[in-house]
Amino acid sequence: MSGTTQVTLKKGVTDPALFDLVGGVSRESLIEVEGTVHRSERANRGVELLPTSITVGTRADVPLPLGVVDKVGADLDTRLNHRVLDLRKPAVRQVFELRAALLEGFRASFTRRGFLEVETPKLLKQGAEGGATLFGVDYFETRAFLAQSPQLYKQMLMGAGFERVFEIAPAFRAEPSDTVRHITEFTSLDGEMAYIEGADELRATLEGVLVEVVQAARDRLTASGNPLAARLPEPKTPFPRIPFDRCEEWLGRAGAQLDLGTEDEKKIGEFAEKEFQAPFYFITDFPTQVKALTFYAARKDDDPTRTGYFDLDFRGLELASGGPREHRIDRLTANIRSAGLDPAAFSGYLEAFRYGMPPHGGWGFGIDRFVQAMAGLGNVREARLFPRDRYRLEP
């Protein structure tokens, strides 16, 4: 029987030696109990176990560094320092049941749409946006980097005839951020589609997937009695589309064309909530100068100062970014140079564009932030079993 079962010792019924044994066992120790099960209206599951024998398997050290059943809270650092004990708490486990349900939903929804799940390398010669935010590692006689995105490889797969792909995999970003939204090792859900007609097709696909995923997770958690089911929103399509220029007007800096920071996103979320009453929304039509380092982002033919790129946000929290890619090698090479990078460093990537590359586009979606948002967590670290950030490499 899984879950919590009440073991009841009764005077006159239970062997007196068992009282002494149980009294000397520390909290969180492992014990094996044999006995008979009886109905009990006072027990939390409606049954209780009357023991005939108890064997102590392993004894927990005392004192515990972290309470498991106590109602007294602990700060996040203490919880993460003793994560195994923290994960024993039912409320913490419920977060990872939600995470599993969301991942299952993503895989099912993408597969129904004809996407193929792929796995791309995580050791790279060059990063998708240069080396500034990459972790370098020794790789035999040369230098390699941990992947911050599967961007280059999923585009190469478009040239290989894999017209719809997705990947759920770890990614690494060497940013010295220390916020409730950033971690250095995260799980990214990346999708790419060939023969697209524009950004609208990408957005429609992504929002359709999200509606299905949230509903499937709600159904699964409801069936298992997980209370987080009640927290999940009920998104409806289409999600609002908010032009970047409109966001800058809300921020009081019309025409500045500056990248959006964390506080900017929060303010935009407040305006979006007032105007649209929708939890999910897209920020569209990013200026080229904001996406200058995103060299693979296609510039609009009728206005090169604009891209078709978009962000997907949830109440002020950025979840995804994407858009149409540049599939013409001459323009792509020019974009790489404009970003201050050397096209020669991307020779393997660029080769895929020399032999027929279809129009394509896609997105990168942060799974950890999505779990954080859906579970209502205060810190993205709570959405990972064993998080890694600027200061944490263990446990």
Can you list the residues of the chain whose pLDDT is less than 70? 1-3, 128-132
- The count of C-alpha atoms lying within 13 angstroms of the C-alpha of 326, restricted to the half-sphere facing its C-beta, is 25
Across all residues in the chain, what is the average pLDDT? 94
Say if CB 66 and CB 78 are below 8 A apart: yes
Say if CB 127 and CB 134 are below 8 A apart: yes
Residue 178: what pLDDT?
A: 87
DSSP H or E run through 94:
helix 90-112
Residue 1: what pLDDT?
A: 43
C-alpha distances (whole Å) from 38 to each of 13, 43, 54, 333, 359 are 13, 10, 17, 74, 67
Residue 177: what pLDDT?
A: 82
Residues 9 and 289: their CA atoms lie apart, in Å, by: 72
pLDDT tens per residue, range 84-140: 999 999 999 999 999 999 999 999 999 999 999 999 999 998 776 665 689 999 999
| Architecture of the structural domain at 90-383 | 2-Layer Sandwich (3.30)
Residue 43: what pLDDT?
A: 84
* pTM for the predicted model, two decimal places: 0.93
Domain ranges of the chain: 1-63, 90-383
Pick the CATH number of 1-63 from 2.40.50.140, 2.40.70.10, 3.40.50.300, 2.40.110.10: 2.40.50.140
Q: How long, in residues, is the chain?
A: 395
